[in-house]
Amino acid sequence: MAKVSEFFGINVFNDAVMKERLPKETYEILKSTIKEGKSLDSSIADIVADAMKEWAIEKGATHYTHWFQPLTGITAEKHDSFINPTDDGHIVMEFSGKELIKGEPDASSFPSGGLRATFEARGYTAWDPSSYAFIKDKTLCIPTAFCSFSGEALDQKTPLLRSMEAINKQALRVVRALGYTDVKRTNTTVGPEQEYFLIDKELYDKRPDLMYCGRTLIGCMPPKGQEMDDHYFGVLKPRVAEFMRELDNELWKLGVLAKTEHNEAAPAQHELAPVFTTTNIAADHNQLTMEFMKKVALSKGLVCLLHEKPYDGVNGSGKHNNWSISTDTGVNFLKAGKNPSENKLFLITLSAVIEAVDKHQDLLRIAVATAGNDHRLGGNEAPPAIISIFLGEDLTDMLEAISKGIHYDDMKRQKMKIGADVIPEFKKDNADRNRTSPFAFTGNKFEFRMLGSASSISDTNVMLNTMVADVFSNYALRLENATDVASEVNAIVKECIENHKRIIFNGDGYSKEWEIEAEKRGLLNLPSTVDALPLLKTEENVALFERHGVFNRAEIDSRVDIILENYAKIIHIEALTLIDMMGRDVIPAITSYTSSMCEAANNKKIIGVDNSVEMELVARLTAANKEIFSLTSILKGAVASAERSTDTFEKACEYRNNILKIMADIRKYADSAESVMPKNYWPYPSYGDLLFKI
Ligand code: ADP
Ligand code: MG
């Protein structure tokens, strides 16, 4: 087996390849284009396209595609081959700069939320030179943004790139005002930890709910769930270990910095964490990671479940968005260093994040709002739907001291704590306790933990970047005009703590007391997607996004529409699946079992043996079956009524308020039936099989 260092990035048209294959001048122009986030001069696109094509063909590629992320949540591709006919009946392999820079997929079936009138239904894709092209399935994939003809964003990448520009602009002002004069560019960085479940493919194929919805709609808990926690960091099962090994290899070839693979809290649940990188690349890589998780699993007779809540009563899956910002000279804004109380950039950034998160709790909640994630937020282990920040005691004390004008001795505090002269930097202290915080400071970054496992990380980072950019722009103005920068920094910290202290919470975020306390503090608690989404359209939010050129009003309206539409669609499919499962499998199974019990009861009666057990079972199951039968027809009616609704928001509300509730009722009866029925009568593999047979 080849060494990893020999095949890492082998399928990526990365910097080394560009340097080797492009004329020096072209390379330099492209490089500075990428580094400074400028748009590419079209005159050099032809040269780059040709080099890309030659490289791709040598690696066996025959096609190219503009690889983009429409608002469906997955990636889209339209493959074109390189071939072009010649006059003499032969072909040449061609790829022009024009084809590299711009594509026109037939995009009429991608959601646009009304942004793209049908007469201009095509939309176009535009090359993002800051994310490297790569080869996958014999196809040269070119990361692109996807817009309408009038330039409105129809995808995840466009607003993400805009938000990176927005924060860069303001962050540059901040660092310059603080005396970092050599900085040319700042970049937000992200390391997304990705959770997922694996399941045996044969068992998966027997569950229509998993196949159509990605989650189980019924299923009673096995005697053993996750209470033993013996799976967490346990030894990997051979089949899983093999899956992880191959996944790592595939990702490494694509230059994805897959770093840590381990078990998670629930049985059959695992996590992959990459080394952090620039945000738009991290977002692209996370999409690739999810795609390859599914693909590699299938090749091993497994299925990878990315749904946020595949099983009731077991931890769901999320993503942790580790976020920071650093300069092109290598300074991490959130690295505290040895004297955090005197580290101006650190203090300013910390304050900016605290202020931004407090002011824009709604945006963070909106960023993670999906039908799947609604099952998880507030559930077991996962963060509640309330946003708060964990800083740890040391940092909180330090900020309090600064805000009260008390001198904070970094040294003394640390010495007292550890009884030594060695001064450790701020660490992610109380790492166990802070697992309950949705937004935690963990060393040199903030970790937002509310994301759902299936979503793109783009939305979250669009919000984070924009809201921090906005606070930075206010701070920058103050610092630029300050006569004494150091005392202005302290004044900013002071005001931030005075005004936004309520968002800081170092305690147990899962406790009931916190919900009560959070309400007293006036923090938002938005339990579902339909509660959260409409807030994106408030005048304040529209103004924020327009101010920083991230979204315009039309884009915001269309996004809200698409997300709510999607929400309703998902629950619609779930309801239809449940109706089908009940009508065709569960009801007949219960009937069949009860009739065999009736037969047994009858036989016993004939020979004069006690048949009370059979009679009782028949009575209980018949009652459950009757409920299931009548609830199923109620569900059918409710779905029909919701589908008649022409207003997207109203429709989503019907799904949330009525349909999910009826589905939960059906589940209750189905699960109680399952718990007393023999295996050979129950139509589906049990939770026990799904979770432990791998
Ligand atoms: P833990 O596993 O305890 O959550 P780690 O230090 O292993 O913490 O980091 C988790 C993730 O955070 C990794 O993906 C890592 O690359 C990422 N990370 C570390 N530093 C930064 C940073 N400055 N910016 C963004 N992400 C970071
Ligand atoms: Mg983490």
pLDDT(394) > 70: yes
Rounded Cα distance, 422 and 444, in Å: 19
Q: Does pLDDT of 405 surpass 90? A: no
State the DSSP string of 627-641. HHHHHHHHHHHHHHH
Q: Summarize pLDDT for 638-684 with one digit per residue, the tens.
A: 999 999 999 999 999 999 999 999 999 999 999 999 999 999 999 99
Which tokens belong to 235?
Answer: 């030894």
Band (pLDDT 50/70/90 cuts) for residue 120 is low
Ligand 1 and 445: CB distance under 6 A: yes
Q: Residue 225 — very low, low, confident or very high, per pLDDT cuts 50/70/90?
A: low
Average pLDDT over every residue of 513-519: 92
Say how far apart CA 3 and CA 560 lie, in whole Å: 47
Residue 671 token pair: 């699960």
> Residue 687 to residues 332, 371, 498, 589: CA-CA distances in angstroms?
45, 22, 50, 18
pLDDT at 432: 44
Tell whether the model's pLDDT for residue 416 goes beyond 70: no
For residue 293, the SS3 value is helix
Q: Which residues contact 411 (CB under 8 A, 6 or more apart)?
A: 423
Q: Residue 275 CA: which ligand 1 atom is closest?
A: 16
Interhelix angle for 458-481 vs 279-299, to 10°? 160
Q: What is the mean pLDDT of residues 224-229?
A: 62
428 pLDDT more than 50: no
Q: What is the mean pLDDT of residues 477-498?
A: 96
| Residue 117 reports pLDDT greater than 60 | no
Token pair 């920040």 is found at 389
Q: Cα(71) to centroid of ligand 1, in Å? A: 27
Is pLDDT at 263 greater than 70 in this prediction?
A: yes
Determine contact, residues 652/567, Cβ cutoff 8 Å.
yes
Residue 467 confidence (pLDDT) above 60: yes
Closest ligand 1 atom to the C-alpha of 193? 14
For the chain, what is the mean pLDDT? Answer: 90
The average pLDDT across 347-371 equals 97
- Could you identify the residue written with the tokens 């101006």? 344
The CA-atom distances, in angstroms, between 627 and each of 474, 630, 634, 655 are: 60, 5, 10, 21
The Cα–Cα gap between 269 and 262 comes to 9
- Ligand 1 centre and the CA of 290: distance in Å? 19
- Residue 200 CA, ligand 1 centroid: distance in Å: 31
Q: What are phi and psi of 234, to 5 degrees?
A: -75, 175
Check residue 227 and give its pLDDT. Answer: 60
pLDDT value of residue 424? 45
φ, ψ (nearest 5 deg) of residue 134: -150, 165
> Is 430 a residue whose pLDDT tops 50?
no
Instruction: Please tell me the number of the ligand nearest to residue 276's CA.
Output: 1
Residue 420 has pLDDT above 50, yes or no: no
Please name the residue whose Cα sits nearest to atom 7 of ligand 1.
Answer: 273
pLDDT of residue 286: 97
* Average pLDDT rounded to a whole number, residues 266-277: 92
Instruction: Evaluate whether 190 touches 457 at the Cβ level (below 8 Å).
Output: yes
What is the share, in percent, of the chain residues with pLDDT greater than 70?
A: 92
Whether the predicted pLDDT of 434 surpasses 90 = no
Mean pLDDT confidence for 407-435: 53
Q: Tell me the percentage of the chain whose pLDDT exceeds 90.
A: 72
Distance separating alpha carbons of residues 588 and 599, to the nearest angstrom: 16
HEC per residue, 678-692: CCCCCCCCCHHHHHH
When pLDDT is cut at 50, 70 and 90, the band that residue 411 belongs to is low
Q: Between the CA atoms of 387, 392, 394 and 400, what dihedral angle is there, to the nearest 10 degrees? A: 20
The pLDDT value recorded for residue 199 is: 95
- Tell how far the Cα of 557 is from the centroid of ligand 2, in angstroms: 33
Q: Is the pLDDT of residue 533 over 90?
A: yes
Region 100-109: what's the mean pLDDT?
75
Range 593-604 average pLDDT: 97
d(CA 446, CA 450): 12
Atom of ligand 1 nearest to the CA of 444: 23
Q: How confident is the model at residue 324 (pLDDT cuts 50, 70, 90)?
A: very high
Q: Which residues pair with 446 in a beta bridge?
A: 323, 441
Model confidence band, residue 616 (pLDDT cutoffs 50, 70, 90) = very high
Q: Identify whether the C-beta of residue 167 lies closer than 8 Å to the C-beta of residue 327.
A: no
Residue 2's pLDDT band (cuts 50, 70, 90): confident
User: Encoding tokens for residue 54?
Assistant: 């030659």
Q: Give the pLDDT confidence score for residue 333 in this predicted structure.
A: 98
- Partners of 325 in the β-ladder: 188
Rounded Cα–Cα distance for residues 144 and 378 (Å): 36
Segment 602-617 mean pLDDT: 96
Q: Which two tokens stand for residue 269?
A: 């649940």
Task: Work out the number of other CB atoms within 10 angstroms of the CB of residue 205.
Answer: 12
Give which of 75, 280, 72, 252 is closest to 192, Cα–Cα.
280
- Check residue 121 and give its pLDDT: 57
The atom of ligand 1 lying closest to the CA of 273 is 14
Question: 651 alpha carbon to ligand 1 midpoint, in Å?
Answer: 40
Beta-bridge partner residues of 93: 83
Residue 118 clears pLDDT 50, i.e. is over it: no
Between 306 and 97, the higher pLDDT residue: 306
Cβ of 291: how many Cβ atoms within 10 Å?
17
**pLDDT score of 391:** 93
Cβ(189) – ligand 1 distance below 6 Å: yes
Per-residue pLDDT for 12 more than 80?
yes
pLDDT tens for each residue of 41-77:
777 889 999 999 999 999 999 999 999 998 877 788 8
- Mutating to test ligand 1, I would choose from 233, 261, 327, 445 the residue with most ligand atoms within 8 A of its C-beta, which is 445
537 DSSP 8-state letter = G
Ligand 1 centre distance from Cα of residue 481 (Å): 35
CA–centroid distance, 229 to ligand 2, in Å, is: 17
Question: By 3-state DSSP, what share of the chain in percent is helix, strand and coil, each rounded to 5?
Answer: 50, 15, 35
CA-closest residue to ligand 1 atom 13: 191
Reported as a single tens digit per residue, the pLDDT across 471-483 is 999 999 999 999 9
